[in-house]
Amino acid sequence: MFALKKTITPFILPPGIFILAIVFISLVMIYRKRWKLGLANLMVGMMLWALSTVPMANFLIHGLELDYPIPSDPSGDVIILLGGGMIQSVPDLTGTSAPSPSMMGRIVTAVRLFQRLGLPLIVTGGRVDDDADSAVATVAKRFLMDLGVPEKLITVEDRARDTAQNARLTAAICRQQGFSKPILLTAAYHLKRARMAFDAAGMRVTPFPAYFMGSRNIPYTWRHLLPRAGCLCTSTDALHEYMGILFYRMFGP
């Protein structure tokens, strides 16, 4: 009964139910001899299914995460924490709005690294949406303080709206405050593009990954081929990064 439930549920919830609908419509088209449209739709359904599976999500995200292992003995004079989104206008213990899951993973790692090294932090991230009630960096600062980081050791950069601006504006702060050996902390899959942006801004950084999403060395079974919303999100994040890296290489940050 448990196995049956785990098999049926992914096809009742998105994206599974939409994949089934696409496949069904495609087969009807093929049955009615509308071959080209039917096969095209079927291909779309299969691609969506593949992106929603654990093996594909791991394959895509691993290509970004494997280049940056966690440093065994990191050193520097400041920790730069890149903003990674937030959930707007939600109630929280000490205010309104909260970090996204990815950003929360970065914050927790930043606090743990702060407890080990005792370095000041620069948090960068502005209002990604024009109607946002606060900047990502402002929300992150509140959580950092709640987790024990003194306010006097946190510098907020709340204007940047993308990774390139994160790099340029934070590099300027580092120069103003005399920091020359920053540790760049962001999600592991985002580090490659973030480092490219900081290199373009003329700031050499020590990359420090957080919030790994790709599972390592797990034995795949047929259940890993069932569609999952979380896997589709992971695949989407990875594809976004690959597109961003390609854009940077072609046009620069």
pLDDT digits (tens, 9 = 90+) for 110-160: 999 999 999 999 999 998 777 777 899 999 999 999 999 999 999 999 999
Percent of the chain with pLDDT over 70: 99
pLDDT at 84: 86
pLDDT at 133: 77
Question: Lowest-confidence range among 59-63, 85-89, 194-198?
Answer: 85-89
Between CA 113 and CA 66 the distance in angstroms is 20
Across the chain, mean pLDDT equals 94
Strand partners, 86: 99
pLDDT tens-digit map of 202-214: 999 999 999 999 9
Is residue 182 within 8 Å of 206, Cβ to Cβ? yes
Q: How buried is 87 (Cβ within 10 angstroms: 0-12 exposed, 13-18 middle, 19+ buried)?
A: middle
Strand partners, 95: 92
Is residue 241 within 8 Å of 192, Cβ to Cβ? yes
DSSP 134-156: S-HHHHHHHHHHHTT--GGGEEE
Between CA 57 and CA 7 the distance in angstroms is 19
pLDDT at 131: 73
Between CA 215 and CA 209 the distance in angstroms is 15
Is residue 136 within 8 Å of 83, Cβ to Cβ? yes
Averaged pLDDT, 87-93: 92
Averaged pLDDT, 74-96: 93
Locate tokens 């009615």: which residue?
32
> Could you give phi then psi for residue 217, rounded to 5 degrees?
55, 45
Locate tokens 């439930």: which residue?
5
Q: At what angle do helices 35-51 and 54-65 cross, to 10 degrees?
A: 60
Is residue 132 within 8 Å of 88, Cβ to Cβ? yes
pLDDT tens-digit map of 222-231: 999 999 999 9
Strand partners, 18: none
pTM of the complete model = 0.92
Is residue 105 within 8 Å of 210, Cβ to Cβ? yes
Strand partners, 123: 81, 156
pLDDT tens-digit map of 94-118: 999 999 999 999 999 999 999 999 9
Locate tokens 């899959």: which residue?
189
Tokens for 20? Answer: 């089934």
Contacts of 89 (CB under 8 A, 6+ apart): 96, 97, 133
Q: How confident is the model at residue 188 (pLDDT cuts 50, 70, 90)?
A: very high
Residue 11 DSSP code:
G
Is residue 2 over pLDDT 70?
Answer: no
